[in-house]
Structure 1
């Protein structure tokens, strides 16, 4: 696994970490641009549809170039579109209508812990204590960043929707890692993203029903902390930076690192989103939020610097294969 990841180009893990951080920054900036559009009159689901559909349009030439993926990896493309694109967005925004934003965000970012569970118990691969400790720190820090104690209006179905968003985000990390060990036969990440966005657009079209959108909002302006900004500029940022750039850097970073490491680094998205809201929208941070952000940073660093553990019982090499290797007859 590690040899294959290291062989992805001439750059080492530091490059993958840089991509993961860039992806977190790009994803984290989506809310700052989306909130003024929603306040200007667009429905949240319509903003999501515009985001995904616009990104799919940008990536259409890439989809055509990698059209062989439709024949070779249809299940991967469908899964990525349903889970990593449509599922995360739809479940999260639906949860927001029933439970507080902070609670929904915290539950969604339980995904790194769920990723560790997937790796350990489904893929039966070792997980280091350092990586697990990093996840615990990151989730605890997120509880402070989103001030989960500020809103306790829990709704059972809303909690299930937020948990659904977390599970879909697990799908994003796991599916992004598909083919990391396949060398030249690995599905091209840009092709997977392009078709995932197309599938996501189709699904969200049914959910969001964009034909009822107030399109006139896009021709006007939106208020950004007292400044009038063209709505199309904000939409352009959401599409090009918070979606296209975010998905490209995110998927490539998962292949260069691992789902569990990239998942913990992605927790920084909540910290970045909160910091940007402070700077751009004037939504000030409290002392617990600042402290929580520092804890998330520490947790992400610990997790990304962890090294794979030794083989577990599920990874043990059969005795017959060991004997063949020693005798020089194994290939």
Structure 2
């Protein structure tokens, strides 16, 4: 399957917007479901391993169908598994154990700014002033989110882990451009996601050592702001909804929308995650933090939607590489 747009069709565009919204909602709910499991006694790496392994098993038929990718794109599959699956999820879930869900996800939204830095200083390609403005806004908003005037009240290691997730997101965007100009020979995004999950699960097996996991947590209950919930139900949500459904609906939305439009809708993920954490986990943010989060989103929107001087479209927001692996020009 090659990602394509069909923006000329009103029904196709409406369906694409609906799928993109579903994808943002599904991705945004991952942290809210994962944090109670972590607080119940599961190690963050074990939660990531369960997520990647469960989703890999669900996507296994697609991996078999696109097994030719093993011969044609082994480096892409390995890189996607290491960064897009293992790296970003491990860093993000580890950050959740130390800082609020909304803060961790907002820090991840520095990724578009970091990608612009990669384009400008590593690839030595020009970027627009609007994109640079987006970087400044994202950095300033982040300063409000972490309340730098209070001496970084949040856990320093948690902030570094969230920043590590943002750095892995840069890998998403760089890898998303691999083969994007190959036309009909572009790697199938569903196949890349399936093998990325398999590679990520294999790597996480070595790192997380799941045989040391406290399995009794999965048969017990976790708590959403004091409300008991079956831990297994949260895990099923993470695997089927926040991983498999989120990735698939995201890919299908790009088939009906331009990558830029799908990326803009994906920006709602941070808002959804913050609101869900507020309602379900009782993680209240101060007014300056809410305002800073809005500025981060604005900066990310400007940074990812501004085309560089060369005319290549910018990559989508967080999660965009997973959604747009075969879309043309998504890495600038």
Instruction: Give the TM-score normalised by the residue count of structure 1.
Output: 0.76
Which residue number in structure 2 is paired with residue 221 of structure 1?
221
How many residues are aligned here? 304
Distance in 1 of aligned mates of 2:78 and 2:243: 18
1:106/1:278 CA distance change after superposition, 3 Å = closer
1:141/1:24 CA distance change after superposition, 3 Å = farther
Q: Please state how far the C-alpha of 1:140 moved relative to its aligned partner.
A: 2.6
Q: Please state how far the C-alpha of 1:85 moved relative to its aligned partner.
A: 0.9
Is residue 107–residue 142 contact of structure 2 (8 Å, CA) maintained in 1?
A: no
SS state at 2:55 partner: helix
Distance in 2 of aligned mates of 1:86 and 1:281: 25
1:155/1:274 CA distance change after superposition, 3 Å = closer
1:20/1:180 CA distance change after superposition, 3 Å = farther
Distance in 1 of aligned mates of 2:216 and 2:30: 21
Which residue number in structure 1 is paired with residue 259 of structure 2?
257
Q: Please state how far the C-alpha of 1:84 moved relative to its aligned partner.
A: 1.0
Q: Please state how far the C-alpha of 1:132 moved relative to its aligned partner.
A: 2.5
The 5 A counterparts of 1:234-313 are: 234-249=234-249, 256-257=258-259, 262=263, 268-303=268-303, 305-310=305-310
CA RMSD of aligned residues (A): 3.6
Distance in 1 of aligned mates of 2:235 and 2:164: 26
Larger Rg: 1
Q: After superposing the two structures, state which structure 1 stretch, 15-24 or 159-168, moved more.
A: 15-24
The 5 A counterparts of 1:63-102 are: 63-93=63-93
Which residue number in structure 1 is paired with residue 7 of structure 2?
11
SS state at 1:207 partner: helix
1:20/1:151 CA distance change after superposition, 3 Å = farther
| Structure 2 residues without counterparts, runs of 5 or longer | 313-332
Which residue number in structure 2 is paired with residue 322 of structure 1?
none
Q: Deviations over 1:261-305 (max 9, x none)?
A: 94x876654443222111112222321122223323433443455
Is residue 278–residue 284 contact of structure 1 (8 Å, CA) maintained in 2?
A: yes
| Structure 1 residues without counterparts, runs of 5 or longer | 313-331
Which residue number in structure 1 is paired with residue 130 of structure 2?
130
Which residue number in structure 2 is paired with residue 231 of structure 1?
231
Is residue 103–residue 145 contact of structure 2 (8 Å, CA) maintained in 1?
A: no
Is residue 126–residue 311 contact of structure 1 (8 Å, CA) maintained in 2?
A: no
Is residue 141–residue 291 contact of structure 1 (8 Å, CA) maintained in 2?
A: yes
1:179/1:243 CA distance change after superposition, 3 Å = same
